[in-house]
Structure 1
Amino acid sequence: MKFLYDLFPLLLFFAAFKFYDIYVATAVAIAASFVQVGLFWLKHRRFEAMHLITLAVIAVFGGLTLALHDDTFIKWKPTLVYWILAALVLGSQYVGKKTVIERMMAAQITLPAAVWRRLNLSWGIFFAVVGAANIYVAFYYGLDLDPDNRREIWVNFKVFGLLGLTLLFTVVQAVFIAKHVQDKPGGESVADRTSD
């Protein structure tokens, strides 16, 4: 359920784009992001970092898109979000005792320190690469096509391509993690659970 909650601004953006245009879709995404953050606060009395990063970037770049009637700004939004995440994740390799990924997942699983660092590094690189992929599709792919077709391709990539890449990468990481999970003190091992 949380997965859908996290995606609802993106899904509303996609629906508004299909029925209207990029500018209505941008306005809908901005409003949905504010609602998302507000509802999360009302339910949990805290903010989630990813929601706040997305809200800040879409409010600024979506606002510029609407004010200047130029979709260049909204096309930069996924890249900026991914690159901010890449900077935070990769920066945690060098600052503090634990990486961002370890802080997020250590309550659920136990891994050796070297594996946490490798996992963190791979997520940081992934975020950097998909941010660059967004720039390519948004600004360089299909230059011979008309602007409406290029915009349609970018929106489909933003919704399905980036999401698909993230899901695929998550599955690959889950397989990697499964090979290295350690027993919790006093708990059964992964091998014990799967042999039943």
Structure 2
Amino acid sequence: MTDQAGPRPINPMLKSALEFGPLLAFFAAYLALKDRIFTIGGTEYEGFIVVTAGFIPVFLIATGLLWKLTRHLSRMQLVTAVLIVIFGGLSVWLNDDRFFKMKPTLIYLLFGTALGIGLLRGESWLRAVMEGLMPLKQEGWMILTRRVMLMFFGLAVLNEVIWRTMSTETWVYFKTFGLTAAVFAFFMTQSSLFKTYAIEDEAEADKPAE
């Protein structure tokens, strides 16, 4: 879902609000409703399930607005949206929070596997997603892709450990802040790689990889 002319520029604050707003709204709603039980159609639902049911349309609306404004959604955003609908829907339909808690695991496994397949083909599929943000030499992209792949697998394992061994509230905090902080911290630790393999010459940046 990409406009032929490329993504349309929008206000960075608005873009961040559309990307992270639904997650923060989920967190706030969970804190407000976590101890409540709702009876709907004769079935009792915990606050977490009700908040999950509300999160799905909010997320889809925000994603739709992001596409309308930019005419662009990355493959990662599309996959995330599909999995949120599937696993969030299963949690609500079956009244079982485990499906929604498993969603990050599936997302990170899919992304990690996709990057691994690209590496086996001698390609950096991460480059297609992030090249506009950080121009690197091909060797740098391959190293970064391997590291990001391992990060995704590590986060998948970590999510499984958290939701299976700790409380729902702990998982919500982890999902809202822990995963984002972990990704941010990871890229902060890659500063030496960015310096070593950065492309400073514009002509070199446009040169296709051999």
Q: What residue is the counterpart of 1:7 in the other structure?
A: 20
Cα distance change of structure 1 residues 108 and 16 upon mapping to structure 2, 3 Å threshold: closer
CA drift at 1:159: 1.0
Gaps of 5+ in 2: 1-12, 34-46, 205-210
Q: What residue is the counterpart of 1:145 in the other structure?
A: none
- The aligned amino acid for 2:106 is L
Q: What residue is the counterpart of 2:143 in the other structure?
A: 118
- The aligned amino acid for 1:112 is K
Per the alignment, in what secondary structure is the counterpart of residue 46 of structure 1? coil
CA drift at 1:157: 1.0
Of 26, 36, 39, the residue aligned with 2:62 is 36
Identity between Structure 1 and Structure 2 (%):
29
Give the Cα–Cα distance (whole angstroms) in 2 for the partners of residues 163 and 105 of structure 1: 17
Give the Cα–Cα distance (whole angstroms) in 2 for the partners of residues 84 and 92 of structure 1: 12
Q: How does 1:1-196 map to 2 (within 5 A)?
A: 1=13, 2-20=15-33, 21-95=47-121, 98-141=123-166, 150-185=167-202
Cα distance change of structure 1 residues 110 and 156 upon mapping to structure 2, 3 Å threshold: closer
Give the Cα–Cα distance (whole angstroms) in 1 for the partners of residues 98 and 131 of structure 2: 39
Greater fraction of residues in helix: 1
TM-score by length of 2: 0.77
Give the Cα–Cα distance (whole angstroms) in 2 for the partners of residues 43 and 172 of structure 1: 33
Farther off after superposition, 156-165 or 86-95: 86-95
Structure 1 residues 116-137: Cα deviation after superposition (integer angstroms, max 9, x where no partner):
1110010011011001100000
- The aligned amino acid for 1:6 is E
CA drift at 1:27: 1.5
Count the aligned residue pairs: 178
Cα distance change of structure 1 residues 108 and 57 upon mapping to structure 2, 3 Å threshold: closer
Per the alignment, in what secondary structure is the counterpart of residue 70 of structure 1? coil
Give the Cα–Cα distance (whole angstroms) in 2 for the partners of residues 186 and 63 of structure 1: 48
Which is bigger in relative contact order (C-alpha 8 A, separation at least 6)? 2
Cα distance change of structure 1 residues 4 and 178 upon mapping to structure 2, 3 Å threshold: farther
Per the alignment, in what secondary structure is the counterpart of residue 190 of structure 2? helix
- The aligned amino acid for 1:162 is L
Structure 1 residues 49-81: Cα deviation after superposition (integer angstroms, max 9, x where no partner):
222111111111111111111101111011111
Gaps of 5+ in 1: 142-149, 188-196
Give the Cα–Cα distance (whole angstroms) in 1 for the partners of residues 156 and 93 of structure 2: 24
Cα distance change of structure 1 residues 119 and 43 upon mapping to structure 2, 3 Å threshold: same
Structure 1 residues 170-192: Cα deviation after superposition (integer angstroms, max 9, x where no partner):
211234212321322469xxxxx
Judge conservation of contact 1:58–1:77 (CA < 8 Å) in 2: yes
- The aligned amino acid for 2:170 is I
Structure 1 residues 130-160: Cα deviation after superposition (integer angstroms, max 9, x where no partner):
011000000024xxxxxxxx11111111111
